[in-house]
């Protein structure tokens, strides 16, 4: 079978790496991919939201399966685009329909979805410019910290945690006045939850579901979780404090009701659900839904999955996911992200990356990289994820840390304290 994977990050390199191992995979194409994905298949220069060009490519290359890595094409409706096209509708698109992608694409939609099933999440209200003054009054009635969320996709920047009423009111106004463009034309104001976060990944065909390895990512740029938010600086799997009792609560209170609500609403959903969770007094709450895998969590989740990933994806299309037995590597996996100097603010690209080929005991997943002649150069803020296995996360991290030192490019930065809070 010929497969097309959309995206160009570390997540996509990990997915490509895994799918390329499947005997079911004949040809793998990655659009647009990076310098790492080209060792798993063929990169093609198509943007993941350019549906027309994707359509032409899929038809010309007899693609039978399309895996959607990032959220943008899902929220923009790639699943429905395929299903509404006579020539494309038999192709297996891994990812939710446009309606399902609203779980990530609209925070207000997700909050209502959870409220309808009593899925535990922070209390909230939503506002637009039409009830701005009510919003300001609502903020005044709250105790800081106050969480403001732009309703739509805002490149990971749409969540603000405000430490005072004045700050929250001022930011709330800025959001409604266009700070995040259209994404902020509706704002969710949410209760602040205090606790430790972790991520649960579920794959579903809309009826059955399977739970993939649990992970925890580290979003802040600085050691000890300080400084600006990033796409993610590292991850570990499994998460030591997430025991069976917690997972039972997650399954009964969150996963089962989520799948039940998807069914009740007749949402077509054949793909990943990423639950961003937080433990408050030993009870799990949903911080957010995403309609795709996490990055860099994929770089630790997928290496621990022992199944044939292509077979799992086929089962989504055949409605036979219930027959799949998920097998998970007992070992821990960790990843450390090497980033460009200056990230997540302004940074330079085009720095030559050295030392990758000398790494033997880690898996090097490329994120923002590009081949130039016979060199590999930096091409993004997050550059390379160094994934290692170990008997426990500390042992795995030792290897990731050692190899993070060996890969080099001008301005390289990484956190040496991933897992510090575990
Ligand atoms: P998001 O962009 O939705 O991933 O949110 C970014 C981060 O904001 C989350 O990973 C949490 O650390 C934090 N956050 C979001 N909502 C809340 C909340 N209600 N209480 C506390 N922290 C939150
Ligand atoms: N690592 C968080 C995300 O992928 O959204």
pLDDT digits over 302-311, tens only?
A: 999 999 999 9
What number is the average pLDDT over the span 12-27? Answer: 98
For residue 404, the surrounding DSSP H or E stretch is helix 393-406
For residue 68, give both structure tokens: 């959607």
For atom 3 of ligand 2, which residue has the closest CA?
294
Confidence of residue 156 (pLDDT cuts 50, 70, 90): confident
Q: How does pLDDT run across 293-304, given as a tens digit for each residue? A: 999 999 999 999
User: Which residue's C-alpha comes closest to atom 14 of ligand 1?
Assistant: 287
Q: How far is CA 87 from CA 26, 63, 208, 287, 317, in A?
A: 21, 12, 28, 39, 17
- pLDDT beyond 90 at 154: no
Distance 61 CA to ligand 2 centre (A): 31
Look at residue 241 and give its three-state secondary structure.
Answer: coil
Integer Cα distance of 4 and 91 in angstroms: 11
Residue nearest to atom 7 of ligand 1 (CA): 159
pLDDT per residue over 377-388, tens digit each? 999 999 999 999
Q: What is the pLDDT of residue 85?
A: 98
What's the gap in Å between 360 CA and the centre of ligand 2?
27
pTM for the model stands at 0.96
**Percent with pLDDT over 90 in the chain:** 97
- The answer to whether the CB of 158 is under 6 A from ligand 2 is no
122 with 197: CB under 8 angstroms? no
Q: Is 190 in the pocket of ligand 1 (CB under 6 A)?
A: yes
Judge if the upstream peptide bond of residue 32 is cis by omega within 30 degrees of 0.
yes
* 187-219 pLDDT tens trace: 999 999 999 999 999 999 999 999 999 999 999
Distance CA 338, CA 412 (A): 6
Cα-flanking dihedrals φ and ψ of residue 78, to 5°?
Answer: -65, -35
At 228-237, the pLDDT tens digits run 989 999 999 9
User: CB of 297 closer than 6 A to ligand 2?
Assistant: yes
pLDDT digits (tens, 9 = 90+) for 344-387: 999 999 999 999 999 999 999 999 999 999 999 999 999 999 99
Residue 162 CA to ligand 2 centre (angstroms): 21
Average of per-residue pLDDT values in the chain = 97
What are the structural domains, with CATH classification, of the chain? 2-96 (3.40.50.20), 123-191 (3.30.1490.20)
Ligand 1 center from residue 197 Cα (angstroms): 9
Distance CA 417, CA 310 (A): 34
Give start and end residues of each alpha helix (H) in 265-358. 298-304, 309-317
Instruction: Please check whether residue 253 is in contact with residue 284, taking contact to mean a CB–CB distance below 8 angstroms.
Output: yes
Stretch 22-51: mean pLDDT: 98
Residue with the two structure tokens 């990423």 = 274
Q: What is the 214 CA–ligand 2 centroid distance (Å)?
A: 13
70 lines ligand 2 (CB under 6 A): no
pLDDT tens profile 112-147: 999 999 999 999 999 999 999 999 999 999 999 999
DSSP 252-266: IIIIHHHHHHHHHTT
pLDDT of residue 31: 98
In this structure, the residue with its CA closest to atom 5 of ligand 1 is 159
Query: What residue's CA is closest to ligand 2, atom 2?
Result: 294
Ligand nearest to the CA of 71: 2
Confidence of residue 155 (pLDDT cuts 50, 70, 90): confident
- Determine the distance separating the centroid of ligand 1 and the alpha carbon of 140, expressed in angstroms: 21
Decide whether any atom of ligand 2 lies within 6 Å of the 33 Cβ: no
CA 161 to centroid of ligand 1, rounded, Å: 8
Alpha carbon distances (Å) from 125 to 112, 134, 363, 407, 413: 10, 10, 44, 47, 39
Please report the pLDDT score of residue 181 as a whole number.
Answer: 86
Closest protein CA for atom 16 of ligand 1? 287
* Distance, CA of 104 to CA of 289 (rounded, Å): 6
CA of 296 to the centre of ligand 2 (A): 7
Instruction: Name the β-bridge partners of 96.
Output: 269
- pLDDT value of position 301: 98
Both tokens assigned to 363: 């898996």
pLDDT band, residue 317 (cuts 50/70/90): very high
Atom of ligand 1 at shortest range from CA of 287: 16
Between CA 59 and CA 160 the distance in angstroms is: 43
Ligand 1 close to Cβ of residue 122 (< 6 A): yes
Look at residue 184 and give its three-state secondary structure.
Answer: helix
């Amino acid at each position: 079978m010929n497969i097309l994977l959309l995206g160009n990050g570390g997540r996509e390199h990990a997915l490509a790496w895994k799918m390329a191992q499947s005997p079911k995979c004949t040809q793998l194409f990655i659009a647009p991919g990076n310098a790492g994905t080209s060792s798993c298949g063929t990169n093609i220069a198509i943007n993941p939201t350019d549906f027309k060009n994707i359509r032409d490519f899929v038809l010309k290359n007899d693609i039978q399966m399309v895996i959607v890595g990032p959220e943008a094409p899902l929220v923009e409706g790639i699943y429905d685009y395929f299903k509404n096209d006579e020539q494309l509708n038999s192709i297996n698109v891994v990812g939710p329909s446009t309606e399902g992608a609203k779980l990530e694409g609209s925070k207000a939609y997700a909050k209502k979805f959870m409220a309808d099933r009593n899925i535990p999440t922070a209390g909230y209200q939503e506002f637009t410019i039409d009830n701005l003054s009510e919003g300001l009054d609502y903020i005044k009635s709250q105790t800081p910290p106050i969480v403001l969320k732009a309703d739509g996709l805002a490149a990971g920047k749409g969540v603000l945690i405000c430490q005072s009423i004045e700050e929250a009111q001022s930011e709330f106004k800025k959001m409604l006045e266009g700070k995040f463009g259209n994404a902020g034309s509706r704002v969710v104001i949410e209760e602040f939850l205090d606790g430790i976060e972790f991520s649960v990944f579920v794959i579903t065909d809309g009826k059955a579901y399977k739970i993939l390895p649990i992970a925890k990512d580290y979003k802040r740029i600085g050691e000890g979780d300080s400084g600006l938010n990033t796409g993610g600086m590292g991850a570990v799997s499994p998460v030591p404090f997430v025991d069976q009792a917690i997972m039972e609560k997650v399954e009964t209170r969150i996963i089962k009701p989520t799948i039940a609500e998807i069914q009740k609403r007749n949402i077509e959903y054949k793909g990943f659900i990423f639950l961003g969770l937080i433990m408050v007094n030993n009870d799990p709450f949903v911080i957010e839904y995403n309609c795709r895998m996490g990055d860099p969590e994929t770089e630790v989740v997928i290496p621990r999955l022992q199944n044939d990933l292509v077979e799992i994806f086929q089962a989504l299309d055949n409605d036979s996911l219930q027959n799949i037995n998920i097998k998970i590597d007992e070992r821990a996996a960790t990843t450390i992200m090497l980033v460009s100097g200056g990230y997540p603010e302004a940074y330079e690209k085009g720095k030559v990356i050295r030392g990758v080929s000398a790494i033997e005991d880690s898996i090097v997943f490329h994120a923002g990289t590009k081949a130039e002649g016979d060199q590999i150069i930096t091409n993004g803020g997050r550059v390379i994820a160094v994934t290692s296995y170990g008997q426990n996360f500390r042992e795995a991290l030792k290897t990731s840390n050692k190899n993070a030192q060996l890969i080099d490019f001008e301005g390289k930065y990484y956190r040496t304290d991933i897992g510090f809070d575990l």
